[in-house]
Structure 1
Amino acid sequence: MTSSKHSSSRGHCTLVGAGPGDPELLTLKALKAIQTATVLLVDDLVSDEIVAFAKPGARIVHVGKRGGCKSTPQEFIEKLMIMAVREGENVVRLKGGDPFIFGRGGEEVEHLQAAGIEVTVVNGITAGLAAVTSLGVPLTHRQHAHGVVFVTGHAKPGDEGTDWRMLAETAFKAKLTLVIYMGVSGAGRIQNELLTGLPATTPVAVIQNATLANQRHIATTLGELAQAISDSALASPSVIVVGDVVSGIAAATEHPAQFKTA
């Protein structure tokens, strides 16, 4: 939880992680925040079932944020939050996944606090975790992965972005699982860079719409990644998971009755 020490506003703002999409994966704290909000600023990746928890009369504003699509400018969203709080509203900024994992939550907290606004953060289950869990495999494993790295495949304009070559070398030496968000459109470049430090046979999974009824996934190898994405027509929102833990996906999906997520 993050809060400003000096608030000149009458209202309050909460950044809420809505999780990967399945409404049953909401935390109780997130549900309470949604149900008591008077204004909700909702990202595109938040499902209608979750928005439906808002109380009658709450003002719902859709502020789209999706890679590769037209999005509401971040500066405009921040202005909306500040204006609503200063009008005395109980504002919830509802984000897919977790606000502090590629959700620009850090930027929004900084802007709100600079404006003297009290802000609380409620975590949500991030898509990278939920995606592999839905397929019955872990992100870490004592034999296969000693750690996990969450990384974005979409760099800020003007930013060089991730050093994939260095990351590949580190992942190989330290036995790390790589979870790549927003990487589908740049899969070819990411694949080529990772191949400088990881074997072409490294298992990879790509999961689209994790936890939703229309979830799809492919299990492939790093050497075939870009072609497999093209052949399957998978698109955003998807996560790419690279590492030996993914080798268990084929076994889990061949016998789906033997594995169920909670």
Structure 2
Amino acid sequence: MSCSYYAPQRLEELLAILAEKKEKAKVLAGGTDLVIALQEGKLNYDNIVALHKIPELKGITMRGDTIVIGAMTTHTEVERSPIINTNALLLAQAAAAVGSPQIRNAGTLGGNICNASPAADTVPALIALDACVKIVSKGGEREMPLEDLFLGMGKTKLGGDEVIKEISFNALPDGAGSIFVKLARRNALAISRISVAAIVTSNEYVTDCRIAMGAVAPNPFRVRKAEKAWLGRTVTADNLDSCVEAAFQEISATLGQRASAIYKKRAGKALIRRALSLASGQM
């Protein structure tokens, strides 16, 4: 099946094309998943709209205490960014965990989000960072928490005439520890079986605790009951145990009785313990 190919050079041009074509068009970011699906005949679209020439969708900047990342910024750029490594280390770690060097060089942060995979590596890190996405169309723009963007596996709230322009979140404060860890079948080129992103801020007491998990539910999510279990308490092994147990109960309810539930419950509990221990400086 033949299709038309567009490569707009400005955001305004892109939005005009999408306003005209809407659901008959598919945007192409890094292409690490879409191109394969098209080649295998799993997807068919009348129009492919490539985003790689649009400068407004690229780059990593600081605006005060807010970090802003263009949706077409690659995983390699995120991984190597001094801004990210200094102010949001867990996101650099998550970007480094994506696929192979070739995939990281081509794949983009926006593409990883819009693919809406349960196992997306960067999404749990971004959710733990309380990231928001700016969504634009010819009719205007809107902003929402990243966690609210997803509607299930492979589905988002983006309209056919909309794209994500940028992702933003606050830099982590001094004293915050952060980590991204994943469990997979091998060390490289591996899809996550379970992933955990954790942020712990403490002095004598835990003042902030954020935990996000991937590859457990249809979309990555925050483990909020577990977060609350550690807030206001001292950074001790006993209090860490209470937080981990609360997380175990929460993911057990999420997993239900599926075939992989027994394995994922046990592995998830161990991975959360490791992530929180590393983020809080206990390992």
TM-score, length-scaled by structure 1: 0.30
Task: Tell me: higher relative CO, structure 1 or 2? Use CA pairs within 8 A at least 6 residues apart.
Answer: 1
Q: Which has the higher strand share?
A: 2
TM-score normalized by the length of structure 2: 0.28
